Amino acid sequence: MSMPAFSPIIALLLTSLIAAAALAFVRDYRWSARLNIFASLVALLFALLLFHSRPPADDLLLADDLNVVFIALNAFVGFTTSVFSASYIGHELETGRLTPGYLRFYHVMFQLMMFGMDLALTANNIGLMWVAIELATLSTIVMVGIYRTHEALEAAWKYFILGSVGIALALFGTILVYLAAVSAIGEGMGAMAWTNLLRHAVTLDPSLLNIAFVFLLLGYGTKVGLAPMHAWLPDAHAEGPTPVSAVLSGLLLNVALYALLRFKMIVAANPGTIAVGPLMITLGLGSLIFAAFMLCRRRDIKRMFAYSSIEHMGIIVFAFGMGGPLGNFAGLLQMTMHSLTKSAIFFSVGHVAQVKGTQKIADIRGLTSSHPLLGWTLVAGVAAIAGLPPFGVFMSEFLVITSAFARAPALAALAAFGLLVAFGALLLRLGSIAFGEPAGPLTPVRASYLPIFAHLSLVLVGGLYMPGAMVTWFQNVAGLLK
């Protein structure tokens, strides 16, 4: 009897599951932090192995051009977040904000969250993908409320309510896609496999696909944080632990958007369906402009960068709504650069909040004088997320605007206006945070700069030089998205 072939996907998923089970029995914080880092590193190695060896797709799991880079990105940010989390959560334990029992729970939920996101990215079954996103969401909700303060519990409860509404709408849309597939493919698991759905897309009922995509756009759009379904996101970022904010903004929003792109490909391949581009353009452009103006009035530094995430998700959805090879290329690049940049910013912000003992922007001043390394890394992160050259976000946003100008100058002008408002708001806040007169007490912390440097270095490389293999991947996937 022959041994089954080794599958990097199965190994990746089992790593997180086994780590979650093991961490439930580790009482010592130092050992649990080390195990969390080690498991995240092993998961990263298995994710990178998918570039060398992709197992054949079955009815449940697959690795293809669309998801392989996002799997690697997910594992990389998960690993760097685990490194950052070791020092950040250690300080929370020393100050009494978290207890050893909650810390053990935190590490278990972290690995379950990573498992859910990895499963969603590798799922070939649209029902399994829905379950995985729900698992990742529930794990994140628990982590948002882990401080057990009134504000944290309120934020977790709001996230749960709005997230449940969104995932219920996404479930209804998923069921409608299955019903559309039954007549063409037949009942059973095959009718839920994304590869089969895409292969038979032209024979699916276009009316059901139209209705399904509207529910999927609203459902998964809630997870993405698009306005007006965004209300949970600022509170979740502001009240939860900063490592959760980094993963939530850098990864989970991308995972929900990835699911939406899968369904967009099916709908776009059917000639009888409506054009989904205008729907995505409307939500994306509305989210971009709304979040840009909201940035101007934020008083909490984590809440401010939460609205920055809504702004960037709006840019990405706008780019995919415009479509075309260049628009899709820009959207994929923006997804990648945003994940790296925003997680690096939250790493910096987490240490800043611990140093200053507050998240209020008015009380955070003069970081480049009081903490030069921390202040200048935050300056670099804000410059990157604001779209200044030579960072990768500048390249992606430039491509979004230029591709939109070629097809719809009025929409491009609105998008450029939103970007300029957001740019001005971020630079206005950065001026006092980084270069004002130092104010308030300073708390010594053990800052971990390695994850910040790693992320910002990749964002810089993405702007100055992108490897040919990455360009080829973006071009191939952009052609698939239509």
Q: How large is the C-alpha radius of gyration of the chain?
A: 21
pLDDT of residue 10: 94
Distance separating alpha carbons of residues 139 and 17, to the nearest angstrom: 13
Q: Among 42-51, 150-159, 328-337, 358-367, which is the least confidently predicted range?
A: 358-367
Over the chain, what is the mean pLDDT? 90
pLDDT tops 80 at residue 439: no
Which is more confident, 451 or 473?
Answer: 451
Q: Contact 306/424 with Cβ under 8 angstroms?
A: no
Please spell the DSSP secondary structure of 378-447, one letter per residue: HHHHHHHHTT-TTSHHHHHHHHHHHHHHHH-HHHHHHHHHHHHHHHHHHHHHHHHHHHS---S-------
43-61 burial code (b ≥16 CB/10 A, e <16) = bbebbebbeeebbebebbb
The predicted model gives 137-159 an average pLDDT of: 92
| pLDDT above 70: residue 5 | no
Q: Where are the beta strands (DSSP E) in 192-327?
A: none
How much is the average pLDDT of 34-42?
95
Q: Which of 78, 76, 90 is nearest to 33 (CA)?
A: 90
The pLDDT of residue 325 is 85
pLDDT at 478: 72
pTM of the predicted model as reported, rounded to 2 decimal places: 0.94
Q: Confidence class of residue 468 from pLDDT cuts 50, 70 and 90?
A: low
The stretch 305-324 carries a mean pLDDT of: 94
pLDDT digits (tens, 9 = 90+) for 218-228: 999 999 999 88
Mean pLDDT of 44-54: 92
pLDDT at 3 over 50: no
Over 70: is that where the pLDDT of 440 sits? no
482 pLDDT exceeds 80?
A: no
3-state secondary structure 184-214: HHCCCHHHHEHHHHHHCHHHCCHHHHHHHHH
Q: Which amino acid is at 130?
A: W
pLDDT score at 198: 92
The predicted structure's pLDDT at residue 1: 37
Q: What is the pLDDT of residues 97-120, one digit of tens each?
A: 887 777 888 999 999 999 999 999
Residue 188 is predicted with a pLDDT of 83
Residue 2 has pLDDT above 70, yes or no: no
pLDDT in tens, 53-75: 888 888 899 998 889 989 999 99
Q: What is the pLDDT of residue 469?
A: 65
Burial (CB count <10 Å: 0-12, 13-18, 19+), residue 202: exposed
Q: Please determine, for residue 449, whether its predicted confidence score (pLDDT) is greater than 90.
A: no
Residue 460 pLDDT exceeds 60: yes
Q: What is the mean pLDDT of residues 204-222?
A: 94
pLDDT at 444 over 80: no
What single letter denotes the amino acid at residue 482?
Answer: K
Range name among 28-42, 86-100, 266-280, 414-428 with the lowest pLDDT average: 86-100
Distances (CA, A) of 383 to 304, 339, 342, 370, 414: 15, 15, 11, 20, 22
Burial of residue 409, with CB atoms counted within 10 A of its CB: 0-12 exposed, 13-18 middle, 19 or more buried: exposed
Q: Residue 199's pLDDT band (boundaries 50, 70, 90)? A: very high
pLDDT band at 366 (very low <50, low <70, confident <90, very high): confident
Average pLDDT score over residue span 277-299: 93
Return the ∠ at Cα 331 (arms to 11 and 233), rounded to 5°. 75
Work out the percent of the chain whose per-residue pLDDT is above 70. Answer: 96
The residue among 476, 405, 422 whose CA lies nearest residue 293 is: 422
